[in-house]
Amino acid sequence: MAAYKAVATSYTSREVSVDPEFLSTPSKAPDAAPIAAYGIDFRDTELSQRGEAYAVVLDNVLSPSECAKLLSYAECSSTNQDKPWQPALVNTGPGRETLIPDYRNSERIIWDNQRLMDLLWTRCLQAEGLEEDIVELDSAEKPHVLGVHAKKKQRWRFTRLNERMRFLRYEKGMFFREHCDGSYWETKTGERSFYTLHLYLDDSIEGLSSDPFASKGAGSSNVELSGGATTFYTDDMKAQIDVFPRAGRVLIFQHRALLHAGADVHAGVKYTMRTDLMF
């Protein structure tokens, strides 16, 4: 990779007037559909080496119209209204980020809003079994999630979704190469993240047709996005599982030891939002 200059991390946003009824539960959107959950049991796939690693797909958490509204709010939050989407940087140390476009090639908006994340989590909890899976992390029962933290024989309890929403925009040819997500540590509260949450904000052709996790939902009438899956890999990169974008779909998976990538977008534009589950 080429050498790029690190810059200081700095996130600011504009005040946004959000409809007080937005993301109410149950959804009041006319295009809402029932939430459906699909657990990914890696042991029964070509990625069996991932063992008990946790990942779950939740469809219809938001309706397509709610996704469009959330994306509009995100763009309004940008301090640069002439060009709200800026290049996505890579964390390269405490308080430092670097532009590395041959590794991460996309654009982003960062917006902190705890209320919206609380409402999103309330929606997610409509999925049967999710709360039982997530609410507590016991070092004896889930060492595959806790990693080195399992040695401390601690019990971690879920507190919230991280208020930091990273909205991402991928045009044709953009990608995020293979990586494992790092844990976010909130020094003031002692909270730490152990899971990633992705919220997909538009439909892909594959997500509406060939996706094995697909459920019934409103969907889009005119779909241009192709590609852009979140792809899980074996260590040798010879086997994979693809989770394709669908508007309102949430993908939750553990940070630790899950090699994955944001696959190349072949056509159209992919929009997604990423945050963390805090404990």
Does residue 218 register a pLDDT over 60? no
Taking residues 219-235, report their average pLDDT: 90
Does residue 2 register a pLDDT over 80? no
Is the CB of residue 187 less than 8 Å from the CB of residue 125? no
> Is the pTM of the predicted complex or chain greater than 0.85?
yes
Does residue 49 register a pLDDT over 80? yes
Taking residues 40-51, report their average pLDDT: 96
Domains of the chain, first to last: 36-78+112-278 (2.60.120.620)
Give the torsion through C-alpha atoms of 232, 168, 173, 181, to 10 deg.
-30
What span, in angstroms and rounded, lies between the C-alpha atoms of 137 and 127?
Answer: 19
Does residue 267 register a pLDDT over 80? yes
Does residue 64 register a pLDDT over 70? yes
Residue 1: partners with Cβ closer than 8 Å, 6 or more residues away:
100, 102, 103
Taking residues 48-58, report their average pLDDT: 97
Does residue 247 register a pLDDT over 90? yes
The predicted pLDDT at position 212 comes to 77
pLDDT in tens, 136-156: 999 999 999 999 888 777 899
The predicted pLDDT at position 150 comes to 87
The predicted pLDDT at position 221 comes to 63
Does residue 216 register a pLDDT over 70? no
Taking residues 188-208, report their average pLDDT: 97
Residue 212: partners with Cβ closer than 8 Å, 6 or more residues away:
none
What span, in angstroms and rounded, lies between the C-alpha atoms of 221 and 209?
Answer: 13
Give the torsion through C-alpha atoms of 219, 123, 41, 136, to 10 deg.
170
Taking residues 2-8, report their average pLDDT: 78
Does residue 95 register a pLDDT over 70? yes
What span, in angstroms and rounded, lies between the C-alpha atoms of 32 and 110?
Answer: 26
Tell me the pLDDT of the chain averaged across its residues.
94
